[in-house]
């Protein structure tokens, strides 16, 4: 009887660990795939920032050519005429928006993402 109770206790303990670990791993995998796609977008953000700092009128031409190049890890990419980048992660479907803001020739990026718990901490 004691062996049976130890087996049941072990089974319950394993179930509790699985109930905690499996959802946590899913969140980790979603954040990792989004971070990979954000890193792939870094060169595009740099090109747009350079164009905005140099001549904001050149951004629409850059935006139209940028949407024709695939972004690694993304199944949706749009670049607006003002330089705003919108993409969706292909693996888990998170949506990210990077909006440039130019102040005194310096470009900073505002980022917005969905779902909020999966976006990087600096975008929340």
The residue extents of the domains of the chain are: 2-123
- The pLDDT value recorded for residue 1 is 65
Q: Give the CA dihedral 43, 88, 72, 59, nearest 10 degrees.
A: -30
Question: Average pLDDT in the 7-33 region?
Answer: 77
Looking at CATH, the fold of the domain delimited by 2-123 is given as Glycoprotein, Type 4 Pilin (3.30.700)
Hey, how many other C-beta atoms are within 10 angstroms of the C-beta on 32?
A: 12
Pairing relationship of beta strands 106-114 and 74-79 according to DSSP bridges? unpaired
Minimum mean pLDDT among 1-10, 25-34, 79-88: which range?
A: 1-10
Its pTM stands at 0.71
Query: For residue 73, what are its two tokens?
Result: 């890890």
Count of residues making up the chain: 124
Report residue 124's pLDDT band, with 50, 70 and 90 as the boundaries: low
What is the distance of C-alpha 118 from the center of its chain?
8
Model confidence at 122, pLDDT cuts 50, 70, 90, reads low
């Amino acid at each position: 009887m004691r062996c049976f109770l130890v087996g049941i206790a072990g089974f319950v303990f394993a179930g509790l660990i699985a109930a905690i670990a499996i959802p946590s791993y899913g969140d980790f995998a979603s954040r990792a795939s989004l971070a990979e796609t954000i890193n792939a977008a870094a060169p595009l953000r740099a090109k747009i920032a350079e164009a905005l700092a140099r001549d904001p009128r050149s951004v629409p031409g850059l935006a139209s050519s940028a949407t024709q190049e695939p972004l690694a890890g993304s199944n949706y990419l749009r670049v607006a005429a003002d330089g705003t980048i919108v993409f969706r992660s292909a693996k888990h479907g998170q949506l990210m928006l990077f909006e440039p803001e130019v102040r005194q020739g310096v470009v900073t990026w505002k980022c917005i993402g969905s779902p909020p718990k999966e976006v990087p901490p600096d975008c929340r």
